[in-house]
A and B are shown apart, each in its own frame.
Chain A
Amino acid sequence: MAKTTFSRRATLRRVMRYIRPHLPRLLLSLALALVTVALTLYIPILVGRGVDSIVGPGQVDFESLTHTLLVIGLCTLLTAIAQWAQSHLNNRVTYDTVRDIRRDAFAHIQRLPLSYLDAHPTGDTVSRMISDVDTFADGLLMGFTQLFTGVMTIAGTLIFMLTLSVPITLVVVVVTPLSLVVANFIATRTHDMFVLQSKTRGEQTALIDEAIREQKLVKAFSREDEILAQFDEINDRLASCSLRAVFFSSLTNPCTRFVNSLVYAAVGLAGALAAVSGALTVGGLSSFLSYANQYTKPFNEISGVVTELQNALACAARIFELIDTPAQTPDPEDAQAIGGVCGEVSISDVSFSYAPEQKLIEDFSLRVSPGQRVAIVGPTGCGKTTMINLLMRFYDVRAGEIRIDGHETRSLRRSDLRKNIGMVLQDTWLSSGTIRENIAMGRPEATEAEIIAAAKAAHAHGFIRRLPDGYNTVIGENGGSLSQGQKQLLCIARVMLCLPPMLILDEATSSIDTRTELKIQDAFAKMMQGRTSFIVAHRLSTIRSADVILVMKDGRVIEQGTHEELLAGNGFYAELYRAQFDN
């Protein structure tokens, strides 16, 4: 589990804040628990009383017995109702709290800066939102009521036993902790074995993960035997440490059962002797024996609950850490509302880097007139996405400013800025839903005719029509069965429908066949007419026709100018150009 910056107390405070709205329900549930415990404990006494009414042949007091049995029946019904109501209330509180936390976490994710999301693996965030919240709810809320019931049962049992016989109660109280001691002894001794087991298991999982994911590679290099040998070595170690962990931990139950049977025997002895001397009735002894059976159970449960609670708190801390991660700087209150812009972009003295100690873009300036095309070129991994991040304000500049039509972008609402920029990335992302929903993502109110027109303009209409349900075809997460090229066309159609005054386009490199690529080029060209465009470009034709070329390397813009200027400058661009296009 990742370490958290949350102290236990701070976590508890946060937990309380989520529980507060449910406090009345929770209190009612505790009251019901009290009722359940009291009645459950009262029944053995009633049974004992019943037993006392049936001493022997001709010595049965039917009148009082009937009365006792009626009371037992009544208590049973009340207990059942209280139990049912209590678990219902608990469910409500638990699930509602889970829902609230998940809702808040999800809403917070929408406001988190991209820098956080880029730095944290998706799986980690998802596991915080899903499994951590579940563990937290189960452990904390269920654990809490269990703990409460457990403590109440112990207290109640003690009180009832004391009313029956003080000496015998003392016997129970003295012997019972033995089972706790035994359980604790086993738990601490096996802890190290479990740590070793989960470490070894982790090692094995890592190997399995790696080897099976790349099984084809293993086969290509005929490494099957070596992998299997490596696997067996870990597997044998795992078997031997698992055996120890599983066996020794499984001693807890028999051992505590043994202690319980000792308690039972001791109560039997003390009780019977007391009965002989007349200090206790036979029914009283029967009640006592029931208690002796019940009394140790909550102790064992409580020790389990405590670990569960600790675990739950650790999970809660991980969730709150996510929820409390500072959100992106909020949009300024007095943000000027802008409608459509002309698309004039001026970047002045911008500095930016992802990590403070690693300089990336320094004092970068660029002026783009409305309708101009800017091509961004450079080798793979040169930081072309950084430009997209800054223009879209996924990240904010560290120094300098970016102005659109003269407005400083940080003085605008992000939504106003982003509505003016259409973005098509090479990494095509589609939401699960119908084709229609995907195209209309930017304008859910668009009419059917508009959607079809956008799809036609993006050359997507043809393949959509051939899909089984046309525009209503449901596509799974990330496009499902659509080909890479089809997905790209849908992404283009999505932007076509809005046609904002500025565009950011990421040209496809390799994963698309030539014919689809031609269609995409054509769609791109159509879109770019009269719009300020930033294109991450790979094709020479795009690069040549650009008004400005930004040449990036190692995250920095190292050259800028037109194709001719850059060739004449004989720098990195010229070198790149010759490597690629001259034989």
Chain B
Amino acid sequence: MKKLFVYLKGYGRECVLGPLFKLLEASFELIIPLLVASIIDRGILDSDTGHIVRMVLLMALLGLIGLACAVTAQYFAAKTAIGFSSRLRHALMAHIQTLSYTELDTIGSSTLITRMTSDVNQVQSGTNMGLRLLLRSPFVVFGAMVMAFTIDFDCALIFAGVIAVLCVIVFAIMLVTIPMNKRVQGQLDSVTSATRENLGGVRVLRAFCKEEAEARKFEQRNRILVKLQLAVGRVTAAMNPLTYVAVNAAVILLIHAGAIRVDAGSLTQGEVVALYNYMSQILVELVKMASLIILLTKAWACGDRIQGILSISSSQRAGTEAIDKAGSVSFEDVSLHYKGAGAESLEHVSFSVRPGQTVGVIGGTGCGKTSLVNLIPRFYDATEGRVLIGGMDVRRIDEQQLRKAVAVVPQKAVLFKGTIRSNLLWGNESATEEELHEALSIAQALDVVSSKALHLDEPVEQGGRNFSGGQRQRLTIARALVKKPQVLILDDSASALDYATDASLRRAIRMMDHRPTTFIVSQRASSVLHADLIIVLDDGHVAGMGTHEELLAACPVYQEIYASQFDAPEKAKEVSANG
């Protein structure tokens, strides 16, 4: 958290003036009981009406000045807090943009989103309240005590005593309840997850007639939650009565001690009233302070979490060189070991393709297909070996240039909020209408656009919800083609397309004028069998490499995949024999 204070730079004046004005206001409040005492001792006892009126006017004036001070303080506090949080958000967002895939994987997007939204908001309100109250409350509490000392030393000792007792009560209760509240939160999470899980598995649960069992299970968690809540409630419920008793006990002692001293002539009646008023102020401020402390600890923890993100730096060193001739791609003994993974995801992969060739990458789930293609645009750095584009190590190439030359169509077809056009322009801001049309045509997506009322300007909702899976997939392919990339990677991006569309798409890509070097990642043998080179992966190893015919003749893994999809005659027989 402390490191975040750099984002307060430029708000130094506000950070000082805000609390200062707050203290001024508090000082005025502390004067009031003295004025009341003076009204009683001089005004009432001596029947000096003029003095009473003067004192009352002074009170009103102090109130007015107090208001002015407070308004100033609130403004400075709000300005600082908002400026701080706004800069924090910017810094976070800018920082996240620099993180590489490895860091994004480790942190996870939902964490990042929480940091940027609720954590920053907590820090903002913590800063705001902190600037306003952090100094004020202790100041009033101790100020009241100091004022008491100026009135009467012995009576003030009672103040010192009760403040100590109150602090013990408040903090003891907080200390006890914080872990208890954590447990309540944990149990509430468990009730939430029971609900979520039940809704997610509704079909299976009903298929197994588990409705009643589920309701019983839920009720059990529900009951535990109530039990925990009541337990915390019992402790928290003691806070108000205990502080009340402590303060009133102090009042009794105070009046008693005051009486003895008034009787002896060392204290006046008005001063006793003043002492009593100071006692009331202490109680009010102490309650505020307790809730402020809770707020501040929360904000501090959020700040620490934000700092945690900002202190993570990209594990990739940026390249600087320009690409001269891309198109050819080669892997030289490349291995990839993801951070935190138990084993290597790719082991000693080597191959080389010429510009314009088509490469098929095939294999089962988790065999490393996506890992392999992700190394080409340098989403990850190879842990061993080199990846070369146009003969240059990708690590030497300027990132912007590299990503411009390589277009990826990811497995998950995601569009951004905006219009079809704004999504396509992601590939190239300055693409012309004809270029968009051409990309759509190759991606077999012209009918998607023409089926919409506003054509290219059809709005796209967040995540592209208003398009079907197949439509989204074709649009994401078009988006990649708008780049006119030298290397095109289709990462299992035809899975939602039917076979006919898939085939037309591959044909159209082959017919392109500036044919990109194309990588087709797929589970379907039919998608890759026309490729110039097919790489068969099995658990991170290259199990075979060559054309369809070569592999069918020599690679057992490929044979197995092909057989499972193309129905080798002997297997069909075996299955039907079972039926």
The reply to whether A261 and B66 contact each other, CB–CB distance below 8 Å, is yes
Pick the interface stretch among B2-10, B111-119, B444-452: B111-119
Which residue in chain B gives the minimum CB-CB distance to A61? B259
A73-B252, A96-B226 given as contacts; is B66 within 8 A of A219 (CB)?
no
Which of B188, B203, B273, B379 has a CB less than 8 Å from the CB of A130? B188
Establish whether residues B410 and A217, one from each chain, have CB atoms under 8 Å apart when the complex forms.
yes
For residue A128, give the distance in angstroms from its CB to the closest CB of chain B. 9
The distance from the CB of B464 to the nearest CB of chain A, in whole angstroms, is 10
The answer to whether A415 and B209 touch (CB under 8 A), given A125-B195, A272-B43, is yes
Interface check A517, CB cutoff 8 A: yes
Q: How far is the CA of A92 from the CA of B230 in the complex (A)?
A: 7
- A residues near B99, Cβ cutoff 8 Å: 215
A358 interfacial by beta-carbon distance below 8 Å: no
Q: Knowing A289-B36, A477-B193, A512-B364 touch, does A57 contact B264 (C-beta < 8 A)?
A: yes
Interface string of A247-280 (1 = CB under 8 A from B): 1001101110110011011101100110110000
Contact A88–B237 (Cβ < 8 Å): yes
Q: A432-B193, A517-B564 are in contact. Are A212 and B109 (CB under 8 A)?
A: yes
Query: Chain B contacts of A478 at CB under 8 A?
Result: 197, 200
| Chain A residues near B507 (CB-CB < 8 A) | none
B546 within 8 A of A: no
Contacts known (A107-B215, A510-B523, A539-B564); A227 close to B97, Cβ less than 8 A = yes
Whole-angstrom CA separation of A539 from B561 in the bound complex: 12
Q: Are A293 and B280 interface neighbours, CB within 8 A?
A: yes
Query: Knowing A125-B199, A231-B90, A429-B200 touch, does A511 contact B276 (C-beta < 8 A)?
Result: no
Which residues of A, 406-433, contact B by the 8 Å Cβ criterion?
414-415, 418-419, 421, 423, 425, 429-432
Is the C-beta of A236 less than 8 angstroms from some C-beta in chain B?
yes
Shortest Cβ distance from residue B336 to the other chain A in the assembled complex, whole angstroms: 16
Q: How far is A224 from B403 in the complex, measured between Cα atoms in Å?
A: 12
Q: Select from chain B the residue with minimum beta-carbon distance to A494.
A: B208
Task: Tell yes or no: A218 within 8 A of B by CB.
Answer: yes
Closest B residue to A81 using CB positions: B241
Asked if B198 and A57 sit within 8 Å, CB to CB, the answer is no
Q: Decide yes or no: A114 and B203 within 8 Å by CB, A208-B113, A541-B567 being known contacts.
A: yes
CB distance from B475 to the nearest CB of A (A): 13
Chain A residue nearest to B192 (CB atoms) is A130
Task: Using A206-B417, A254-B70 as known contacts, say yes or no to A541 and B259 having CB atoms under 8 A apart.
Answer: no
Known contacts A88-B233, A130-B195, A510-B523; A243/B226 CB under 8 A: no
Q: Which residue of B lies closest to A129 (CB)?
A: B195
Tell which of A43, A220, A521, A576 touches B408, judged by Cβ atoms closer than 8 Å: A220
Nearest Cβ on chain B to A548's Cβ, whole angstroms: 13
**A441, B197: Cα distance in complex, Å:** 15
Of B217-225, B325-333, B350-358, the stretch lying at the interface with chain A is B217-225
Q: Does A87 make an interface contact (CB < 8 A)? A: yes
The yes or no answer to A117 lying at the interface (CB within 8 A) is yes
> What distance in Å separates the Cβ of B12 from its nearest Cβ neighbour in chain A?
18
Contact A269 B93 (CB under 8 A): no
Binds A, one of B174-182, B389-397, B497-505: B497-505
CB neighbours of A444 from chain B (8 A)? 213
- Contacting residue for B578 out of A59, A268, A529, CB 8 A: A529
Give residues 489-505 of A contacting B (CB, 8 Å). Answer: 491, 494
Q: Are A429 and B204 in contact (CB under 8 A)?
A: yes
Chain A residues near B100: list those with CB within 8 A.
Answer: 219
Contact among A117, A217, A238, A432 with B414 in the assembled complex (CB-CB below 8 Å) = A217
Residue numbers in B under 8 Å from A517 (CB-CB): 364, 564
A201 to B384, CA, bound (A): 45
Give the interface residue-count category, chain A.
Answer: 35 or more
CB interface residues, A 79-97, toward B, < 8 Å: 79-81, 83-84, 87-88, 91-92, 95-96
How far is it, in angstroms, between the C-alpha of A494 and the C-alpha of B417 when the chains are bound? 42
**Would you call the interface of chain A mostly helix, strand, loop, or mixed?**
helix
- Within the complex, what minimum Cβ distance (angstroms) separates A252 from chain B? 10
Known contacts: A87-B233, A87-B237. The answer to whether A581 contacts B207 by CB under 8 A is no
Alpha-carbon separation in the docked complex, A83 to B245 (Å): 11
> A379 contacts the other chain (Cβ, under 8 Å)?
yes
Q: CB distance B219 to A80 under 8 Å?
A: no
Cα A114 to Cα B202 with chains together (Å) = 8
Q: Which residues of A have CB within 8 Å of B128?
A: 246, 250
Bound form: Cα–Cα A259–B183 in Å: 43
Q: Is B360 an interface residue (CB 8 A)?
A: no
**CB-CB contacts below 8 Å: A204-236 with B:** 204-206, 208-210, 212-225, 227-228, 231-232, 235-236
Give chain A residues whose Cβ lies under 8 Å from the Cβ of B49. Answer: 273, 276
What sequence of 0s and 1s flags, for each residue 382-403 of chain A, a beta carbon within 8 Å of any chain B beta carbon? 0000000000101000000000
Given A60-B259, A239-B86, A269-B52, answer yes or no on A545-B245 (Cβ-Cβ < 8 Å).
Answer: no
Known A54-B255, A272-B39; judge A423-B203 contact (CB<8 A): yes
Shortest CB-to-CB span from A228 to chain B, Å, is 6
Q: Which of B73-81, B148-156, B165-173 lies at the interface with chain A?
A: B73-81
B400: chain A residues at CB < 8 Å are: 222
Whether a CB of chain B sits under 8 angstroms from the CB of A513 is: yes
Nearest Cβ distance between residue B578 and chain A, in whole angstroms?
Answer: 5
Say yes or no: A243 contacts B280, CB within 8 Å. Answer: no
B203 touches A545 (CB 8 A): no
Which residue from A59, A99, A257 sits with its C-beta under 8 Å from B223?
A99
Question: Which residues does chain A contribute within 8 Å of B495, judged by CB atoms?
Answer: 510
B255 touches A69 (CB 8 A): yes
A219 with B403: CB separation less than 8 A? yes
Q: How far is the CA of A493 from the CA of B383 in the complex (A)?
A: 40
| Chain B positions within 8 Å of A526 at CB level | 578
**Option from A261, A541, A580 in Cβ contact (under 8 Å) with B575:** A541
Check if A235 sits within 8 Å of B195, measured CB to CB.
Answer: no
CB-based nearest B residue for A542: B575
Check A423 against B207 for contact (C-beta < 8 Å).
yes
Identify the closest chain B residue to A48 (Cβ).
Answer: B273
Residues of B within 8 A of A84 (CB): 237-238, 240-241
Q: Does A329 contact B (CB under 8 A)?
A: no
Complex contact B96–A212 (CB within 8 A): yes
B298 part of interface (Cβ distance < 8 Å)? no
CB distance from A216 to the nearest CB of B (A): 6
A72 with B578: CB separation less than 8 A: no
Instruction: Let me know if B437 is at the binding interface, CB within 8 A.
Output: no
Whether A56 pairs with B262 at a CB distance below 8 angstroms is yes
B195 shortest CB reach to chain A, Å: 5
Given the contacts A57-B263, A62-B259, A580-B526, A268 and B82 also touching, CB distance less than 8 Å: no
| Any B CB within 8 A of the CB of A28 | no
**Nearest CB of B to A470, in Å:** 20
Q: Which residues of B are found within 8 Å of A536, using beta-carbon distances?
A: none
B208 touches A418 (CB 8 A): yes
CA distance A113 to B195 in the complex (A): 16
**Does residue A356 face the partner (Cβ distance < 8 Å to B)?**
no
Minimum Cβ distance to chain B for residue A453 (Å): 19
Asked whether B195 lies within 8 Å of A106 as measured between CB atoms, the reply is: yes
Q: From A55, which residue of chain B is reached at the shortest CB distance?
A: B269
Q: Is the pair A69, B252 in contact by a Cβ cutoff of 8 Å?
A: yes
Q: Which residues of chain A from 502 to 548 have a CB within 8 Å of any chain B CB?
A: 510-518, 521, 525-526, 528-529, 539-542, 544-545
Closest Cβ of chain B to A258, distance in Å, is 4
Checking B44, B192, B201 against A282 with a beta-carbon cut-off of 8 angstroms, the contacting residue is B44
Residue B214 at the chain A interface, CB threshold 8 Å: yes
A441 touches B208 (CB 8 A): yes
A555 at the A/B interface (Cβ < 8 Å)? no
- Give CA–CA (A394, B203) in the complex, Å: 8
CA distance A223 to B93 in the complex (A): 13
Beyond A72-B252, A254-B70, A444-B213, 18 extra complex contacts between A and B, CB < 8 Å: A47-B276, A55-B262, A56-B262, A79-B241, A87-B237, A88-B233, A208-B93, A212-B112, A213-B113, A216-B410, A247-B78, A254-B67, A264-B63, A268-B35, A272-B43, A275-B44, A483-B366, A513-B364
9 contacts between A and B (CB under 8 A): A59-B263, A99-B222, A246-B128, A254-B67, A268-B39, A276-B47, A282-B40, A512-B364, A512-B365
The 3 closest A-B pairs by CB, nearest first: A513-B364, A261-B63, A254-B70
